[in-house]
Amino acid sequence: MISFWCLLLWITTTLAFSNNGSSVQSNSTVNITSFSNVSSPFGYTNGNTSNSFHYRGVALGGWLLLEPWITPLLFNATIPASGNTSEMAVDEYTFCQVLGKDEALKRLHNHWTTFYNESDIQDIKNYGFNMVRVPIGYWAFEMLPDDPYVPGAREYLDKVINWLHKYDLKVWIDVHGVPGSQNGFDNSGRFLNNTPGWQNSTENIDLSHRVLRKIYTRYGSSEFYSQYGDTILGIEVVNEPMGPKLNMTQVADFYEKSYKDARVYSDTNNTIVFHDAFQPAGYWDPFLNSTGSEPGRLKNYNILIDHHHYEVFSAGELNSTISTHLNNIRNYAMGIQREEQSHPAVVGEWSAALTDCTPWLNSVHFGTRWEGTFPYTNKPINNKYLGKCANINNWDTWSKQHKRFTRKYIEMQLDQYESKMNGWIFWTYKTENSIEWDFKKLAKYELFPQPFSKRQYIVDGVDTKPETGASARLTPKDSVTVLMVMLLAVFLF
């Protein structure tokens, strides 16, 4: 799941959709002839899965790789008896470090066993999804000598693949964290104040490749295929590498080598997924493209470009009217549609969030832009905060306006991501407390359409019931008014 730096880059990326933008340089582009000796893949070799499959998916965030905002109870339990929150865990790395390996393993096994089980997968199928994205950290396969992590998550990856096969769902294995952290976000397993350390040593890169080879060998084997068929839809080599803070030539080199390894170590022609690394649309057009910089796909490559989109990680986005949010989605989807001339693509992460109020969303010790709390001092409306966050996860305090805006925002993303690219994956299926990021709660409260095609507001990219005037912005007055009415009701009755 994206952290705050990612969406500071969103404006730049969106603007780039209006032109060709820069692209991966020719000296970083794969030499196509270097793949001439790769053996013919086993299994579904006659079709490009990433081209033909239309993704309607959901992620199992916070399960096999912890994220504090998804499962805050796990992290609250690491606060020492002194009550000093500065000593609590802020990511999976410090979760294991603070508790020690034995206690961390005990708690994680309980979490892995209880947070998701077979009934969840059956429900996912019944909701109408056709695939699931499963994030997992490198340490489930191999660790650095001084890593505090504990092993065991791979066993549950195998379990969920078995469940998914049983219910005729596809799976996308997502390497969500690599050694040194590819972005410095807590979603990589190690929070480094949003500064990546992945490229700081060759040991990190070498281990990343070894982990991927183990994944390719295990989940791309003919033996695995004979048991599970084409349940494995794709493998993402690394989630959200923070390109603007990394050496992009090295990122492209890692992608190229990872792809070649996939075709050498796998018997199957699984789709290999590359995140856009927060680069402008069109940046990856020449990459693994049979015609270089010119449009055109080579089906045998079977790759997919993964884009992530949120609009809550800058004060400007938060202060947008709902019509601006909806227009942003249209522009974003149009950019990806043009990019698809070279590669198939999906929006592999998106949410219903119109605020950044979910506790710890920006990391454990960070506040929110919505309230302008540390480290965020930006207050865009008359130097005041946008609103209060206290009741963001209390459904009874949500205004009709907030509910309507959220439903519109979801519907527009469904409309555009389904019609202009290869589909979408919602982040995430469930959380302990959040509403804006929790599919199950959104469906329960009738904000996420069921079925997905049931639209109340958006038809062919058009808001059929547009907002006007001051009502077009989710305002502090609206949320505060709801709370005041409730308090008044308690006082009077």
Catalytic residue list: 240, 309
Q: What residues does 138 pair with on adjacent strands?
A: none
| Alpha-carbon 232 to chain mean position | 18
- For residues 482 and 399, the answer to whether their CB atoms sit within 8 Å is yes
Where do the H-state alpha helices sit in 194-313? Answer: 202-219, 222-228, 248-265
Q: Beta strands of 210-344 (E only): which ranges?
A: 232-236, 271-275, 303-309
Q: What is the largest CA-CA distance in the chain?
A: 80
Short-list 455, 471, 452, 451, CA closest to 463: 455
Give, as one character, the DSSP assignment of residue 131. Answer: E
Cα angle, residue 225 at apex, residues 51 and 189 outer, rounded to 5°: 75
Instruction: For residues 296 and 291, give the distance between their C-alpha atoms in angstroms, rounded to a whole number.
Output: 6
Count CA atoms closer than 13 A to 61's CA, side-chain side: 32
Judged on CB neighbours under 10 Å (0-12, 13-18, 19+), 418 is: middle
